[in-house]
Chain A
Amino acid sequence: MKEQRTAWLLVAPALGSILLIAMFPLGWTIWESLHQHDLRMPWLGRPFVGLSNYATVAGDARFWGAIGHTAFFAFASILLELALGLVLALAMNRTFRGRGVVRAAVLLPWAIPTVVAALLSRFMFESPWGVVDVLLTRAGLVDKPVVWLAGAQIAWVPLILADVWKTTPFVALLLLAGLQNIDRELYEAASIDGASAWWQLRRITLPLLKPAIVVALIFRTLDAFRVFDLVYVLTGGGPGTSTEPIALYTFNTLLQNLEFGYGAALSVVVFAATFGLAMVYIRWVGGVAPGEAAAR
């Protein structure tokens, strides 16, 4: 009995800090989301409005648009990153001269802060004087410069390319770690049995790489779901709001328009969605590779 009390006493500071740092802001945000609170309209006061902010979220076309943009961005960028990352990882996993240099070089984009990477892409895709347009026109691939950032569909191209350029190295690194865990003897045995390289990739590499792929998928999905700085710098969510992801919409509501009540409601919804997604993934990983994911 006494021992138990000591145990509680010992973990109390840790529990206290978690409560203070994680739970208190979360609780406060949820409480705030039940109020109408607009910093710029003090004459309206801060009335308790129950769930009405959430009702507004449900009927907010810009919110659903933002959810759609986020999902599309996540899907398209992750698909490309996994495919390219796998190719890079397979290449880096071979033994060749200068492998260390290549591995370091591949990681370079990942080391650049996202805001800087986004600015670089903005300069490259700015028409008509951006380097992309200049190269495309010189090569004769297009008659006149493509207007990348002012088209509702085409604006996705620089956004997704910038994300792929920056994040593929990260995916490649995770996959490379997975590749190095695969027993080389399996390949030797397969070769002796006359299995082709393609067969080896499909039947040995990919199945054994699955845990690493899942881990990469989790990291990337959660990151892509919260994408903010890249879009903020590159398109500002435009043209109109056609590339605005949910994090940028929340930012605009909360910090640009200073609508704290409604912004809090948006934040809670985003939190719930990310949390739910993480839960699904964690269960999935647990099912796929017990112990494997924890080791990484």
Chain B
Amino acid sequence: MPLDFLYVLRHATSMLRRAAIVGAAALTACASSEPKGYVTVTLAGSALGAEGTVVTTQAARFEQLNPGVHVVIQRTPDDASQRHQLFVQWLNAHVGQPDILQIDVVWTPEFAAAGWILPLTRWHPDVSDLFPGVVAGDRWAGTLYALPWWTDIGMLYWRTDLLQHAPTSMHAMADALRRAHAVGTPRDGLVWQGARYEGLVTVFVEFLGAFGGAIMDDSGRVVVDAPQSIAALTFMRDLLRDGLVPRDAMTWHEEESRFAFQNGDALLMRNWPYAYALMSDTSASKIAGHFAAAPMPGGPGGSPTATLGGQQLAINALSPHPDAAYRLIAYLTAPAQMLERARIAGTLPPRKSLYDQPALDSALPMGVAVARAVLEHATPRPVTPIYSQLSDLLQVQLHRALTGQAEPSRALRVAAAQMNALVDRTHVRELAHGRDSAAAAASR
């Protein structure tokens, strides 16, 4: 029954928290009874399938190279929002384990502002080879808090058997969709991630960039109700209204759109790089060999935009072994390990120099040229500790506008008002200048 479920959930989480404290205490006790110089480092992250294989292999190799360090891989939910919830509860309970957290690119400022993860400056990491856009998301108030493990990037998949080339502007894309719609095949035009979740915001950011809009300006004000933003959302709404994007897509996540596209039911698809290898598999995909990937089109008013995602590694502020933890992070993010990861799990490495290596070209299913073309347009989402809450408010209004419950202009004005109220209430703009000034502002 409904309430029981909620009740169980609430209880389960509090029990988990207690178990985590006890567990951490036990682990710390173990660590202190270990022979001198022998430490255990725990890494919590998604370790499913091929990803799990890579991280276990690499951890074993790290142990051989670092006698005295034992690595434990702790599996956490694959679903990002569940993992986020779990981490926040652990960190609130002040546990020292896991030492290393695999965090999404948009969580870094949140965890850093909360004081849950350590600044990495004392180890002087070399970030010159990493993509600047990625590193920007790993900094908070000018300090580096995490290192990128792999990069994700939004891209446009198109059918090479139905189109001559990838659309070069939003209006050219709409024209191509309209022509296919007139013919009636394939069934759907463009498919995307339209359900009310973070995926919808990542899609919106790409349309926003094409029209020259933004969610937040440099001073930290939400500007999602600017004319360019309204134009972008109106354009998206019109695609749905004209049947160029199926209305079903407003309930879809990554996999539903991939199924539609790989069954040959769509002309275009917005998705992440993971889909490339899966759709090239002739045993499951009807369009293997008949598709390619490109950046989402840019213009009018803006430029091609690719929403930046990806996973970072950060150190728990209460970790008893931060030095060993950092050594593991440095090892996992070194070029050789990133290359191996690309080969086995198909993830994009965030290191510039690797893109000149033929080894990466053969490791990536889509090839280096396409990856580099899209990465050139990588755009981070707003770097702020309250990103998740802001995104939540935006998701509701985007979904309302795209399912015909509100005009785009009205929806975005409501979203901007709510989001700016949250920005003011939480004093995040002061927080960017340090915790003390935010605390001062909060107590005023």
> Residues of A with Cβ closer than 8 Å to B?
38-45, 62, 114-115, 126-128, 145, 147, 149-152, 223, 226-230, 236-242, 247, 250-251, 254-258
Contact = CB atoms under 8 A, between A and B. Distances in A.
A151 B388 contact: no
Contacts of B388: 40, 257
Contact of A147 (B81, B197, B247, B406): B247
Interface stretch (B42-50, B293-301, B332-340, B434-442): B434-442
Given A42-B92, A42-B114, A238-B251, 15 more contacts: A38-B426, A39-B89, A40-B110, A41-B114, A43-B114, A43-B439, A128-B187, A237-B196, A238-B195, A238-B399, A239-B399, A240-B399, A242-B400, A247-B3, A247-B6
B330 interface: no
Given A238-B195, A256-B85, A43 B435 contact: yes
A132 to B, nearest CB: 13
5 tightest A-B CB contacts, nearest first = A240-B400, A239-B403, A228-B2, A150-B250, A226-B2
A39 B6 CA distance: 19
A47 B88 CA distance: 20
Contacts of B13: 255
Contacts of B426: 38, 41, 44
Nearest to B406: A240
Interface in B365-411: 385-386, 388-389, 392, 396-397, 399-400, 403-406
B431 interface: yes
Given A43-B442, A44-B442, A239 B400 contact: yes
Interface in B107-128: 110, 113-115
A45 B3 contact: no
Greatest chain B CB density within 10 A among A42, A44, A150, A236 is at A150
Greatest chain A CB density within 10 A among B5, B385, B397, B431 is at B5
A228 B5 CA distance: 8
A237 B404 CA distance: 16
B433 interface: no
B442 A228 contact: no
Given A41-B114, A152-B405, A251 B81 contact: no
Given A240-B399, A258-B85, A41 B248 contact: no
A151 B403 contact: yes
Contacts of A251: 6, 9
B400 A255 contact: no
Interface size class of B (residues with CB under 8 A): 35 or more
Contacts, number: 123
25 contacts: A38-B426, A39-B92, A40-B88, A40-B114, A43-B435, A128-B246, A149-B251, A150-B247, A150-B250, A150-B403, A151-B247, A152-B403, A223-B1, A223-B2, A226-B1, A227-B2, A228-B5, A228-B6, A240-B196, A240-B396, A240-B397, A240-B403, A247-B2, A255-B13, A258-B88
Interface majority SS (helix, strand, loop, mixed), chain A: loop
Contacts of B399: 238-240
Interface in B260-287: none
A236 B426 CA distance: 27
Nearest to B442: A44
A129 to B, nearest CB: 9
Given A43-B114, A128-B248, A258-B88, A242 B405 contact: yes
Given A43-B114, A239-B250, A239-B400, A256 B3 contact: no
A39 B248 contact: no
Contacts of B114: 40-43
Contacts of B221: none
A179 to B, nearest CB: 25
Nearest to B436: A43
Nearest to A61: B414
Contact of A226 (B3, B438, B439): B3
A114 B427 contact: no
Given A238-B195, A240-B196, A256-B81, A150 B248 contact: yes
Nearest to B426: A41
A39 B195 CA distance: 26
Contacts of B247: 147, 150-151
A45 B251 contact: no
A226 B5 CA distance: 10
B323 to A, nearest CB: 25
Contacts of A226: 1-3, 6
B350 to A, nearest CB: 26
B419 to A, nearest CB: 14
Given A240-B196, A240-B405, A251-B6, A150 B396 contact: no
B442 A45 contact: yes
B191 to A, nearest CB: 12
B88 A39 contact: yes
B2 A150 contact: no
Nearest to A244: B396
A230 to B, nearest CB: 8
A30 B274 CA distance: 46
Greatest chain A CB density within 10 A among B2, B13, B246 is at B2
A237 B403 CA distance: 13
B88 A255 contact: no
A41 B386 contact: yes
A27 to B, nearest CB: 16
A257 B389 contact: yes
B10 interface: yes
A103 B3 CA distance: 28
A50 to B, nearest CB: 16
Contacts of B1: 114, 223, 226
B60 to A, nearest CB: 35
B115 A229 contact: no
A201 B406 CA distance: 48
A161 B10 CA distance: 28
Nearest to A242: B405
Nearest to A62: B396
A247 B3 CA distance: 8
A255 B5 CA distance: 13
Contacts of B113: 41, 43
Nearest to A259: B389
A62 B415 CA distance: 13
Contacts of B195: 236, 238
A256 to B, nearest CB: 7
A40 B435 CA distance: 14
Contacts of B10: 254-255
Greatest chain A CB density within 10 A among B3, B194, B396 is at B3
A115 B396 CA distance: 24
A236 B9 CA distance: 17
